[in-house]
Amino acid sequence: MSAASSALVASKLNPDLSNWDPEHEETWDSRLAWRTLWITTFSLTLSFATWYLVSAIAPRLNDIGYTLAPGQLYWLVAIPGLAGGLLRLVFMFLPPIMGTRALVAMSSALLVLPMLGWTLAARDTTTPYWVLLALAFAAGIGGGTFSGFMASTSYFFPKRLAGTALGLQAGLGNFGIGLMQLILPWVVGFGLLGTAALTPQSSADGDLVWLHNGGLVLIPWALLAVVLAAVFLRRVPVTANFREQMDIFKIKHTWIMTAIYLMSFGAYSGLAAQMGLIILNVYGDFPNAPNPLAFAFIGPIVGALVRAASGPLCDKWGGAIFTFVGGAGMVVGTAVTAFFLNPTSVDQFWGFLAGMITIFFFAGLANAGTFKQMPMIFPKRQAGGAIAWTSAIAAFGPFIVGISLTMISPTAFFIAVTVFSVFCTWLAWHYYARPGAPFPG
């Protein structure tokens, strides 16, 4: 029996893999690693769908009887971003403490709380605003899990496959954003999982709406993720207490990569959350205004697919050049979009949509590049911590974007993002992508 086969047999008998080192074939089992990747990615996709549940439901709340002001809606959609960022600061320390199996099982179970909460809130238009804010914060659990999952997955793969594994997990996980925004307009149109007997709401145009299905449709899949994690996942021997994990903050590259990832994923996640409301508020007063729910999912899905597809390419050519090209593309995309935020005609919407898709496309490239870079820049344990920390800060994107749009005009906001993207793209070039840079991987 080969060493890999012995490791697989041992993994079935013991939740801990005491002799695990992906950098050596004799102490690495690729079947176990890939199995772990697919299960955690399944849970992560549900996590992102839960994180963006509020952004999908919020544009229709007033249609079913709520009377929320635009500022209240921006805050409601922004709160999951605040919660996701704060909770990532917690989840980032959990992989070496809890282990993969316990972490993924617990995280999947916690997702049921916001799913069930929004199922109930969407059926009762007398729900106080503070309760809606609390439920929005609970949806942030879905965003918080990312820093734990990605760090945990990095323990299972050798550096040569880090771009592929992390690109697939993050990209397919990000797909949950567009998935939520894509399926919600469909599932709210009929009774689901025995709920046809429940009284539907009436929308502003008189159609019947089962808006509670947005949360309800996810619950069975979250419970399945709990079972899969408990049965099939294992723990690798990477351990560190809280104090030991703080050493990443002494390394300058932690802060450089944090700024770059805030540019890429921060903008991606923030604009994905707020795009529906931006469309509603900028173009909603025109005759034949575009339906936000018909377009909000396109950009996030494009970015997610680009991120997943770019992982193997980053393994082949290095992540730094993808980060740099992604940043440069984001500069162009944000600058172009700024010209379509004070429209005089609804026809200008197509220019706005093209600019937004450009941003999401190049953000996907940069997101893939950064997650290839970090396992190459940092040792394995520190790489997990750096991935978790940078993803935690970038998770504040939906909150930063949402609050910014309540304080300044969309045009001013996109100009500010353009300037920040120029700075971060220069960082990517100077420290990583230029000829002779010390960490080109």
Q: So where are the chain's domains?
A: 27-240, 248-440
Mean pLDDT of the chain: 84
Considering the chain, what percentage of its residues have pLDDT values greater than 90?
Answer: 39
pLDDT of residue 147: 80
**What average pLDDT score do residues 141-151 get?**
86
CB 360 within 8 A of CB 397: no
Three-state SS at 208 = strand
Res. 314 pLDDT band, cuts 50 70 90:
confident
Q: How many CB atoms lie within 10 A of CB 120?
A: 14
pLDDT of residue 137: 95
Please tell me the least confidently modeled range out of 125-134, 263-272, 278-287, 385-394: 385-394
Q: How far is CA 184 from CA 119, 188, 273, 296, in A?
A: 12, 6, 14, 11
Instruction: Find tokens 């394995």 and name the residue.
Output: 380
Enter the CATH code of domain 27-240.
Answer: 1.20.1250.20
CB 143 within 8 A of CB 84: yes
Q: Which of 435, 425, 428, 430 is nearest to 332 (CA)?
A: 425
What's the length of the chain?
441
Q: Which CATH architecture has domain 248-440?
A: Up-down Bundle (1.20)
**What average pLDDT score do residues 342-365 get?**
96
Residue ranges of alpha helices (H) inside 338-407 are 349-377, 380-394, 397-407
Phi and psi (nearest 5°) for 16?
-105, 135
CB 17 within 8 A of CB 4: no
pLDDT of residue 237: 65
Same fold, 27-240 and 248-440: yes
pLDDT at 3 over 50: no
pLDDT at 200 over 70: no
379-404 pLDDT per residue, tens: 766 777 787 788 888 888 888 998 89
Amino acid of residue 187: V
Structure tokens belonging to residue 159:
């550096």
Structure tokens belonging to residue 355:
């600019």
Structure tokens belonging to residue 412:
């001013």
Res. 63 pLDDT band, cuts 50 70 90:
confident
pLDDT of residue 262: 95
CB 139 within 8 A of CB 83: yes
Res. 16 pLDDT band, cuts 50 70 90:
low
Supply the DSSP symbol for 199. Answer: P
Give the sign of the dihedral formed by CA 318, CA 266, CA 45, CA 365.
negative
Amino acid of residue 268: Y
pLDDT at 106 over 90: yes
